Structure 1
Amino acid sequence: MTNRYETVFILTPVLSDDQAKEAVAKFKALLKDGNAKTHHEEDWGLRKLAYPIQKKSTGFYYLIEFESEGSLINDLELVFRRDERVLRFLTIKMEKHAVAYAEKKRSNKKPETAKA
């Protein structure tokens, strides 16, 4: 039985954009290898942290919403813990109301129009 999950992780700010993209690609590849179906992903970019973590005040935030077996979560979180580029991570199982809200929120977003 598959469940819907949402994971958010914060990467260390000392990474270049290419290094951050490589780290995200590593995590997405792990999900793909575990037969997870990715529904949505967002790069929130470099943001200020609410409190310092490892003497850092900013970090690269990234969100991935996916559907998979529960056993894949253990593997994903193990990789997060072992990767020194990850400052923090949080993975939650989404209830049906959370899934509906997330889909509604995404469908209400209007694409930005190009300014002339």
Structure 2
Amino acid sequence: MPLYEHVFLARQDLAQAQVDALAENATKILTDNGGKVVKTETWGLKSLAYRIAKNRKAHFVMLDVDAPPAAVAELERQTNINEDVIRFMTIRVDAHEEGPSAMMRREQRSGRGERGERGDRGDRGERSGFRARDEEVE
């Protein structure tokens, strides 16, 4: 069977239990139609880049799916009807990602401390080579 990733955004005013119920409903739709959900990740309540249906934030949920195309079509049909889901996207993938997704790994990192110094700045924050060019002009 083909492999898919299905991500949906739920309204910001829903409780986490309601978001989990939406994910369980999607899992039930897929299993009833001959598919299965390999992994479910809840990415949490995140800010949106722009407003969608008067929502500034949304609950993000991703499902790794192994199902026939008819089951995915039924999932998309049901998701499109649901008022609590403001956006969704399903893509076909060659293989599911092992371990946590990129969104989950982002939360585990410890900020900017891993990047280190830039290396192109002098002691006083000046770019290297800038002073030498000025001195030659004079």
Identity %: 26
Q: Counterpart in 2 of 1:87?
A: 86
Whether the 8 Å contact between 2:2 and 2:68 is mirrored in structure 1 is yes
- 1:18, CA displacement in angstroms? 1.8
Q: Counterpart in 2 of 1:30?
A: 29
- 1:60, CA displacement in angstroms? 0.4
Deviation string 1:67-95 (CA, Å, 9 cap, x unpaired) is 11111111010011100000000000102
Q: TM-score, normalised by structure 2?
A: 0.69
1 CA distance for matches of 2:70 and 2:47? 32
Whether the 8 Å contact between 2:33 and 2:70 is mirrored in structure 1 is no
Q: Counterpart in 2 of 1:43?
A: 42
- 1:37, CA displacement in angstroms? 2.2
Structure number with the higher strand fraction is 1
Q: Counterpart in 1 of 2:131?
A: none
Matched, 1:74 2:97: no
Helix, strand or coil for the counterpart of 1:10?
strand
Instruction: Supply the RMSD in Å over aligned alpha carbons.
Output: 1.7
Helix, strand or coil for the counterpart of 2:13?
coil
For the pair shown, the structure with the greater C-alpha radius of gyration is 2
Unaligned runs of 5+ in 1: none
Structure 1 runs (4+) deviating above 4 angstroms are: none
